Copies of this chain bind each other. A is one copy, B any other.
Amino acid sequence: MIITLTTDFGLRDPFVGVMKGRILERAPAASVVDLSHDILAHWPAEAGFWLAHCHQYFPAGTLHVAVVDPGVGTARAIAMVELADQVFLAPDNGLLAPVLVGHPRARCWHLEPSQFSRLGIGRASATFHGRDIFAPLAAELATGRVTVAEVGRSVDELVPGWVDEAIVTAEQASGVVITIDHFGNLISNIEGAAIERWVEPHVYVGALVLPLRRTYGEAKPGTALALINSFGVVEIAVAEGRASDVLGLSRGAPIVVRDSVRKR
């Protein structure tokens, strides 16, 4: 059984290690996989984006825990989502909104605080619910000792996302830079599937207009290019360089794709 972790805790302190201790105490056979611990603290949309685009590479039964939680200690609920035979746990602060897109049959719950004692959760700290609530909850669910339905209250919807989904019409797709990767590539929330039948898609970003390429190698070193990346979304790169530095753009910057042929 696999449990993935996505947080803004970083790896320099033992916060993530302590979560793993509490998980393995209750689920000794779990394989705990780090997705990312460098999510921006005030940009939970990044965590939701990555979960939405990574969960399909994990087997059925995987449980994903995401803790980017500016509201820890306040009255925000804990969300539990079931879709694609996987379970997602996160604060109900908009983080999971991108995961729900395209999954109309996803089921959503709020964790019932009245179930804490059943889960063996004692008094939680005010500031570290990852360790005190999410870790034991994940372990109890992953081992099958409890089910989401047993400890949750079904809800019709979750808190909406912090960033609007991309808006796609027949001739234009408008989104934003949702994350910047290790290589400085600007990764947008525009799905390549939405534009795959377009004839001559061009990407408008900053002051540039870029034709859509297939691989990084199709542009000269130092020049910008746009492509559908390996996670299926529109990405802006600079061949052998860092697009974020060269273009001076960051999270939230608008990106628009237009089909030149249709537009004429």
Contacts and interface: CB of A to CB of B under 8 A. Distances in A.
A127 B16 CA distance: 28
Contact of A21 (B17, B24, B62): B62
Interface string A30-65: 010111111001100000001000100111001000
Chain A, interface size category, equals 35 or more
A6 B14 contact: yes
A128 B230 CA distance: 6
Given A34-B11, A126-B230, A230-B126, A25 B58 contact: yes
A14 B50 contact: yes
A198 interface: no
A125 B6 CA distance: 24
Contacts of A58: 21, 24-25
Interface stretch (A94-102, A111-119, A151-159, A176-184): A176-184
Interface string A1-34: 0101010011111111110111011001001011
A132 interface: yes
B2 A217 contact: no
A129 to B, nearest CB: 9
Contacts of A21: 2, 4, 33, 54, 57-59, 62
Contacts of A172: none
A74 to B, nearest CB: 6
A24 B31 contact: yes
A73 interface: yes
B24 A73 contact: no
Nearest to A128: B230
26 contacts: A2-B24, A4-B17, A6-B14, A12-B36, A13-B182, A14-B50, A16-B34, A17-B54, A18-B35, A18-B54, A20-B33, A21-B57, A21-B58, A21-B59, A21-B62, A25-B58, A28-B31, A71-B217, A73-B214, A73-B215, A126-B214, A126-B230, A127-B215, A127-B230, A128-B229, A128-B230
